Amino acid sequence: MKVISVLGSTGSIGQNVLEIVRRYPERYRIAALTAGSRVELLASQAKEFQPDIISIAREDLADTLRQLLPPGLQERVHVGMEGNVAAATSACAQMVITAVVGSVGLVPTLAAIDAGKDIGLANKETLVMAGRLVMHRVSEMGVRLLPIDSEHSAIFQALEAGRRQDVNTILLTASGGPFRTLPKEDLQGVSPGQALAHPNWNMGQKISIDSATLMNKGLEVIEARWLFDVPPEQIQVVVHPQSIVHSLVEYVDGSVVAQLGIPDMQIPISYALSYPERLQLGLSQLDLVRCNDLTFEDPDFDRFPALPLAFEALQRGGVTPAVLNAANEIAVDAFLHERILFTDIPEIVAAAMAAVTPADDMDLNTILHADQTAREHAQRTIAKLVSDRS
């Protein structure tokens, strides 16, 4: 039986993880569950799975959580980053699923690696912020880091068809988001509600906005560079609106290996949990006859400047990807609260990248300092935008 800690159990990925555990109770047991603010759902999950560690982001929420739990679980409640780290390093856990959103995933993921845990990675920010450091620790500790993002899981599977030295290009597919065909002049006026309406996937708010700006694909490019140890020039993005081909790998002989499937996150999650086995999930099968219109196109860098910003951050290296990620998190939150325009998001990110001094990315404190500096710069830029428009 594999014992698992789930960081971010109340989000979309976390709930899908627990659905698979529910389906296969003889194979998996939950050691720890953590969440941000969805206290009632976390309490319900804790009652069902009886984890050793239960953690919520804030102390006031922890008080509410304890009131919702029976006496036997109340003393298992932890809080904040300390709780995330406790869950990530649980003595009985063999694998840690990092499904939290944003930079909060970095520290507990590193702690889990240092504790010798295998990682199921759904928190792309971990490798965006500190890819070199994280993969160095993975190698040092001899643990496995298995991707859960559908695109990276597809690449992982396609790479099993050949030798790494024979890879010519990694092709990351992108749906194009809800504004793929919207004229550039109309992007400025889109609302958070429109941006959250992804055409194919059911995702959380942050990742939905990132998908709409194509920043999500940019973050995945950076993640792929470290996860698969390929230089940036060997990574391309292609827009595939149907989200059936989840990504592809081209080899030097011209062969292109793709992974196809219905757009359901249980598929990549289950593969990470059971690798190298595959699980019966009871999902609908892909009907190729009905998928007779699969299209691919180049991304529009002019309409969606967040994507070239990510390539630029990767080329500049050091802490620049961490700066990109931090400024984007602040900008997305401001857009969701209707403080800025949709088109302001990449401009705020670009300004932070230009302002924060590059530094080495092998020291965690340096990375975290760059992250904080970028957040403060983004906040100042947003405040000025709001002031100028008032």
Rg (CA), the chain: 20
The single-letter DSSP state of residue 76 is T
pLDDT > 70 in the chain, percent:
99
The single-letter DSSP state of residue 230 is -
Q: Torsion angle, CA of 345/379/130/208, rounded to 10 degrees?
A: -40
pLDDT digits (tens, 9 = 90+) for 8-62: 999 999 999 999 999 999 999 999 999 999 999 999 999 999 999 999 999 999 9
pLDDT digits (tens, 9 = 90+) for 170-186: 999 999 999 999 999 99
Q: Are 55 and 78 in contact (CB under 8 A)?
A: yes
In CATH, the number for domain 317-390 is 1.10.1740.10
Q: Mean pLDDT per 10-residue run, the chain (390 residues)? A: 97 96 97 96 98 96 96 96 97 97 93 98 95 97 96 97 96 94 94 85 83 96 97 96 95 97 94 96 90 92 97 96 97 97 98 92 94 97 93
How high is the pLDDT of residue 101?
87
Residue intervals of the chain classified under CATH 3.40.50.720 are 2-147
What residue has token string 């219905």? Answer: 262
At the topology level, CATH places domain 2-147 in Rossmann fold (3.40.50)
Of 345, 361, 350, nearest in space to 312 by CA: 350
Q: What are phi and psi of 51, to 5 degrees?
A: -70, 160
